[in-house]
Structure 1
Amino acid sequence: MRLLKKQHLFLLLGITALALFLSGVLLGNLAHLAACPLCILQRMLYLLLGTVGLLIGVGARNPTTQRAGAWLMMLIALVGMYVAGYQSYIQHHPDAGGCTVNSPWWEEMVYWAGEKLPLLFMSSGLCTDPGVKLLGLSLAEYSLLTFTGIALLCVLFGLRNER
């Protein structure tokens, strides 16, 4: 890791998260996959991770700011792990519940974003439907693995900056 500057690591993580966001948008639109509210929420979290990663990578020269950014990104990734984990769970146990119960605040936010930017955030699928599976895993399960990896990298970045 010494070969890369800390800012480059954040830039790389930010670009990766934005690429995942754009991949979700393209996959949904080109393959005509109906994204569910939990899919859209994960898409929003990738967008947030990418934005924070780029901001830290471009502007944070202070180790304290970099450390705070790493921990913020870790918290966002933990939320993503929860959302993707819950979606994976209900895909394996559809009788356990659906996307939501009594339309929580985040679902209203997803529908609002879908009205404002339908190309990016339109939600029309069911969370219990795994849709496409690749090598036996659903997209939600891949997202869970990705958010877990990002969270671990951010912990390493945060600890690395503390030394």
Structure 2
Amino acid sequence: MSLASPRSLFFAAFIFCLAIMGGALYLEHVLGQQPCPLCIVQRVCVIVFGLICLLAAVHAPGRGGQRGYAALALLSAAAGAGTAGRQVWLQNVPADELPACLPSLDYMMQALPLQDIIRLVLHGSADCAEVNWTLLGMSIPEWSLLAFAAMILFSLYQLLRRR
């Protein structure tokens, strides 16, 4: 039995990322769920993962290139999983222990140096701990963490796969 080609699997992963971003945009623009800074970082990680997979599908590299693309995709998925994990953790911290709300990302980009923006965004705030929407009892960050776990498994499969 022949397994799917690396090229078709990378393209399927790209389609998976399109579906995730479609869902995120639906939640934002139709249901009115405003993304917090950690959500935006997760979106960037999904987009980077998807673009890496699209590039791998279009390029159709040999074994070394496949591993290179898989390693880059793994880094992106791991960064997203770390961010989603941080947000899930924040949602389980008592409200009185959370830092105050952050200013908007646009304001921080204009007023603060990059390292302060990264520190504040990754530290999280009360905004990131709100659970305003669930599906099957899981919040958006929990679904994101599940999606990033799937991306990590996919990347590891592509990285360790033999032809």
Give the TM-score, by structure 1 length.
0.80
- Corresponding residue number in structure 2 for 1:8: 8
Q: Does 1:106 align with 2:118?
A: yes
Q: Deviations over 1:120-143 (max 9, x none)?
A: xxxxx9101011011211010010
Q: Does 1:52 align with 2:90?
A: no
Partners of 2:33 and 2:81 in 1: how far apart? 22
- Corresponding residue number in structure 1 for 2:88: 88
Contact 1:66–1:158 (CA under 8 A) maintained in structure 2: yes
- Corresponding residue number in structure 2 for 1:121: none
Contact 1:37–1:107 (CA under 8 A) maintained in structure 2: no
Question: What is the Cα-based RMSD across aligned positions, in Å?
Answer: 2.5
Q: Does 1:136 align with 2:137?
A: yes
Runs (5+) with no aligned partner, structure 1: 110-124
Secondary structure, counterpart of 1:126 in structure 2: helix
Query: What does 1:149-160 align with in structure 2 at a 5 Å threshold?
Result: 149-160=150-161
Secondary structure, counterpart of 2:128 in structure 1: coil
Aligned-residue offset at 1:77: 0.5
Contact 1:18–1:50 (CA under 8 A) maintained in structure 2: yes
Change (3 A) 1:136 1:40: same
Q: Does 1:34 align with 2:34?
A: yes
% identical equivalent positions: 32
Q: Does 1:74 align with 2:65?
A: no
| Amino acid in the other structure paired with 1:75 | L
Deviates more, 1:44-53 or 1:13-22: 13-22
Partners of 1:88 and 1:95 in 2: how far apart? 16
Partners of 2:75 and 2:96 in 1: how far apart? 30
Runs (5+) with no aligned partner, structure 2: 103-107
Give the TM-score, by structure 2 length.
0.80
| Amino acid in the other structure paired with 1:26 | Y
| Amino acid in the other structure paired with 1:105 | I
| Amino acid in the other structure paired with 1:76 | S
Q: Deviations over 1:30-55 (max 9, x none)?
A: 00111111111111111111111000
Partners of 2:45 and 2:90 in 1: how far apart? 20
Contact 1:90–1:96 (CA under 8 A) maintained in structure 2: no
Partners of 1:17 and 1:97 in 2: how far apart? 31
Contact 1:21–1:44 (CA under 8 A) maintained in structure 2: no
Q: Across the two proteins, how many residue pairs are aligned to each other?
A: 146
**4+ residue runs over 2 A deviation:** 94-100, 102-109
Secondary structure, counterpart of 2:34 in structure 1: coil
Q: Rg: which structure is higher?
A: 2
